[in-house]
Structure 1
Amino acid sequence: MQLTKYRCTNKVDWHSMLNSGSRVFIGSNAGVPNALIDSLIEDGKHLNDIELTHISTLSDNKWALPEYAAKFKVNTFFIYGDLIRKAVEEGRADYTPCFLSEISGLFTDDTLPLDAALIMVSPPDELGYCSLGVSVDVVMSAARAAKHIIAQVNPLMPRTCGHSFLHISEFSAFIECEQKLPEVSLPEATKIVDRIGQYSAMLIDDGATLQLGIGKIPDAVTRYLYQHKNLGIHSEMISDGLVELIQRGIVNNRYKTFHPGKTVVSFCFGSQKLYDFVDMNPHVEFYPSAYVNKPTNIAKNDNMVAINSALEVDLSGQVVADSIGYRFYSGIGGQVDFVTGASKSKNGKPVIALPSTAKNGEVSRIVATLSEGAGVVTSRGNVHFVVTEFGIASLQGKSVRERALELIRVAHPKFRDGLLAQIRKQFWVPNYQKQTPTDIPELGEMQISRIQIQNQRFYLRPLNPSDERRLQEFFYSHTKETINLRYNFVPGPMTREKSCDLVSVDQSKDVALTIVRQDGSKVRLEAVGRYYLYPQQNSCEVAFVTRETNQGKGMASRLLKAMINIAEKRGLKNMFALVKNNNLPMISVFEQFGFVRALDSDPGEIELIKYLNTESKVDKVEPDNGELS
């Protein structure tokens, strides 16, 4: 092979390598060889109907302009940028949906044979090896499969470690041309996105390995990881949000079970700080997407947490991520790869995170039925968690009815009644399920708090309609002694309808709290506390019950403390409880919080009253970075 060297001022003999109708790959993300594109437009004037194929490209994307429609036919695997999106919408460009892990195979098995790959590389080292730098992704596979590799040697391209090198002798031609890499600034934080990041971070345990996708939400997640320890990275991409976590040692890859000690990615884009960070950094290794995104490789990481976003999620858990109705908006990308890999990982967690609304709050992203024309990217069987600014919906192992109630709970409150009414028409929920989930404003914007009790982690949150079956299990776990002490009568069976009634609470009036143990999608109620409002007396009756294995650990105190705060903030005059006189532990809990005994005509029962005023407030129950100790 004869190697021809060009500078930017020289001309590439395109006609010696391409014909009209050829298929040409363009380098990806921050590695788009714009000088080669300019040269092809200028010096390949007699070439027409060239198919240009690529994934996301951080470029002016001039090849998709209407004026080049006769010269180029665009076929993209990921729609990125307004110009590409408009070209697809107007029919001047095609969108080919494909998992990122499988795009390389289309080139290597000649499903989409490539005549040339236009790529950007770093200058060669003393041995003649150039690095693909910040964009290895599908570029390496395209280069290996193409008849001709035509390179733009850019002295500003970082040299990255891993499987990122091509020898200069493999190039049919190259030009030397300096091109500043495109910088993408961190998106400005918003209150909604910040809350989603905070909830998502609660799903990440110390020692977990992470994949974070592109956009505002993944960057928001990184802002809530500074109290975590020993995290790892196996992700199709990284951006600026992770740099400081790595520099601080929060991400050290210590407990990764696949490529331990290394941050593994296939591309990156962000600021110049990020590009400088990955340059010759032996701790960050770049590999092709066919390797990084391969679900079986992802699953080799224990405790794999994959966080991706979506445009729409229906109440059965189907995820739309590449289209808005009939309008194709982005692409499948690596979402399905990582959702699948994380679901097969030991203790893995696939997470879909999205704002609850769109169009300035006018449209719900949580929907009863998908928009006409919308395509499912991730199936209802793959998703374990859906996160919005209103909380975390746990879907794994849930029936369609339970999923719907979980997702309604994290929908925007103004859409919850309508969503419940819609799915009742399909009998997804029984006719007696009428109350939609309601929040407790007094708990703050985070409706769930992580708490530590005797070195064990639990969560305090409102009881909600999707807890119906869990409440049944909780009730039937009680011993006869607990039932005798807790209730003033022998309760009958905890039917589905009765359980539904108990978990369907209008939390703006009555209050129902629970402490749960949650490990991934496995949830168990450990304690329940309630108060029932008596509006005419401006008072409420308080009661709680704790699972026998946790009695004496302080769970009742946690619940009572929270309910006192709520009652005081709501301006109630007093709280009272009716307790059997032989239930000494429960009496003791109430008395610790200032309840006093009142005269009662029933010798077997004691009434305890707490008079509420501003001087008797206990400390607020609010999370400190999502956690209480």
Structure 2
Amino acid sequence: MDLSRPGPLLATAPAPQRRAGRSIQPAAMPQLLSAGGLVYVPGSSGAPLPFMAELTRDPELTRDARILTTYVPGINPLDLCGVHPSARVTGLFMQPGLTQAQREQRFRALPMSYSGFVRHLQDHVEIDLAVVQVSEPDEHGQCSLGPAVEFMPVALRKSRRRLALVNRSTPRLSGSVSVPFDSFDYVCEVDSPLPVYETPVDAGTEAIARHIAPLVDDGSVLQAGLGKVPTALMRLLRDRRRLRLHSGMLSDGLLELAQAGALDMDFAHTTCVLVGSTGFYDAVRHFGPLRVLGCDVTHHPLTLSRMERFVAVNSALEVDLFGQCNLERSNGAAVSGPGGAPDFAHAGRHSRGGCSIVALHACHKGGSRIVPCLGERALATLSRLDVDHVVTEFGVARLQGASVHERAEALIEIAAPEYRAELREAWRAIAARL
């Protein structure tokens, strides 16, 4: 089986039991929920916003509902105010506004990486209704998943019924996965703008990117995702040549690098999601060497293990002096999830000629982001074993091959100067107990 090949999503269900979808109006979509049945709702640029709007217009529509979603913080705000108190929503990412819902167990955050969630879907989840946003069908009756494939290939294979939102705003991408129109049970035509993602870059972020850039050589395979640091980094890499991209998410920087001649145009640049500016969604249609594939491919250990010179760049909320990285909790509050970071960090760490980089600002309003040891209110999303370099605006801590003491000293040197003496004192106390 070729894990890397795009194209039609075939054999999503027994063909004899399929027929062309029944057209329905948006207001009728909530009626498709069945008692006790699980509804799968994708996120990122594939979020079916008209479906969620109809579902939450009256809390009674979601009484006792079970919803599984991959909504992403910063791209897909998830507001449960319009959801009935008896409903249970499960997701991969916490969001700040869901704290009370999680305490009341109305929101269930799954502590899984993307590859782990693929396995969870494959082995443990039965979906009653999968909601998928697609392009209008082409002359062959194929609907493109466009800029967002995510977990949809697996979800469609596991679903009993399928509702397609045929969105006029969803671009048809030749390198994306496509689904036969006649495989949908229900079809609703919509015209809903895709989420726009644009990130301003500040001076501190630019300084971090300047420290990362020398770690990315010509010919590297780069994973950088979304955020301020990836945005700034892409701009600094325009003078590279033969760069190859393999990432969980790609944005406008993809086309900026292509225009600068920095990309290897013979390589199939791969992602599971595209999110960017309005112009990006239109322009990316014309970028030929692009594949938008499912996470069962992009994050699969076999896919990643084949990559040499794989440079993974991920962000963190805090890093301790052992090199453990917290990506999920801020001041004790859950604000995000692991996403694909554990998959890519592990791959970068073990790639021949590659590396795993974690980037973060040295400070936040409450103090230093370089801390003596992750406390009881933090989570070690990335272990110290999967990080080669930690980067702040003050430099690079090179952890690969360093002893415990050498790691601590390197990390202290990239902390904000006003916290270094305090960190050294804390490390002396820790070291005395080693």
Partners of 1:181 and 1:36 in 2: how far apart? Answer: 14
Q: CA deviation at 1:287?
A: 0.8
How many equivalent residue pairs?
Answer: 415
Q: Which residue of 2 aligns with 1:415?
A: 419
Matched, 1:21 2:27: no
1:148 — aligned with what?
Answer: 161
Does the alignment pair 1:211 with 2:228? no
Whole-angstrom distance in 2 between the partners of 1:40 and 1:56 = 15
2:129 is equivalent to residue 120 of structure 1: no
2:428 corresponds to 1:424: yes
- Which residue matches 1:265? 271
The answer to whether 1:136 aligns with 2:143 is: no
Distance 2:29 2:309 in 1: 50
Alignment of 1:279 with 2:285, yes or no, is yes
Query: Which of 197, 201, 204 is the matching residue for 2:213?
Result: 201
* Deviation, structure 1 residue 242: 2.5
* Superposition map of 1:472-621 within 5 A: none
What amino acid is aligned across from residue 70 of structure 1 in structure 2?
P
Q: Counterpart of 2:78?
A: 61
- Label 1:428 to 1:400 Cα distance change in 2 as closer, same or farther (>3 A): farther
The answer as to whether partners of 1:297 and 1:341 remain within 8 angstroms in 2 is no
**Cα distance in structure 2, aligned partners of 1:91 and 1:12:** 26
- 1:462 corresponds in structure 2 to none
**Whole-Å separation in 2 of the counterparts to 1:400 and 1:126:** 61
Pair 1:228-2:245 in alignment: no
Higher RCO by CA contacts (8 Å cutoff, separation 6 or greater): 2
CA distance in 2, matches of 1:79, 1:47: 20
Q: 1:42 Cα shift?
A: 5.8
Gaps (5+ residues) in structure 2? 1-17
Please tell me whether the aligned partners of residues 209 and 303 of structure 1 are also in contact (alpha carbons under 8 angstroms).
Answer: yes
* CA deviation profile, 1:574-623 (whole Å, cap 9, x unmatched): xxxxxxxxxxxxxxxxxxxxxxxxxxxxxxxxxxxxxxxxxxxxxxxxxx
Matched-pair contact (CA < 8 Å) for 1:318–1:376: yes
Q: Deviations over 1:70-115 (max 9, x none)?
A: 35311110235x5445643664312111111221222222x12211
CA distance in 1, matches of 2:309, 2:201: 28
Contact 2:62 2:87 in 1 (8 A): no
Which letter maps to 1:231?
L
Q: 1:90 to 1:222 in 2, by over 3 A?
A: farther
CA contact (8 A) 1:325 1:372 kept: no
| 1:30 correspondence with 2:34 | no
Q: What secondary structure does 1:202 align onto? A: helix
- Unaligned runs of 5+ residues in structure 1 are 255-260, 431-629
Q: 1:48 to 1:264 in 2, by over 3 A?
A: same
Amino acid of the structure 1 residue aligned with 2:117: I
Name the counterpart of 1:11: 28
The range that moved more, 88-97 or 402-411, is 88-97
Distance 1:241 1:163 in 2: 19
**TM-score with structure 1 setting the length:** 0.63
Closer, same or farther in 2 for the Cα pair 1:343/1:373, shift >3 Å?
same
Structure 2 partner of 1:551: none
Distance in 2 (CA, whole Å) between partners of 1:36 and 1:59 is 14
Q: 1:104 aligns with which of 118, 132, 137?
A: 118
75, 85, 92: which one aligns with 2:90: 75
Question: Which amino acid letter does the alignment assign opposite residue 118 of structure 2?
Answer: S
CA distance, structure 1, for counterparts of residue 361 and residue 173 of structure 2 = 35
| Paired residues of 1:8 and 1:177 also in contact (CA < 8 A) | no
Sort the Cα spacing of 1:248 and 1:31 in 2 relative to 1 into closer, same or farther, 3 A. Answer: same
Q: After TM superposition, give the deviation of residue 139 of structure 1 in Å.
A: 2.0
RMSD, aligned α-carbons: 2.2
- Per the alignment, residue 170 of structure 1 pairs with 183
Partner of 1:513: none
- Give the TM-score, by structure 2 length: 0.90
Q: How far, CA to CA, are the matches of 1:124 and 1:268 in structure 2?
A: 20
Alpha carbons 2:42, 2:132 under 8 Å: kept: yes
Separation in 1 of the partners of 2:56 and 2:328?
Answer: 30
Equivalent pair of 2:71/2:77 in contact (CA under 8 Å): no
1:39 deviates by 3.6
Residue 93 (structure 1) aligned with residue 121 (structure 2):
no
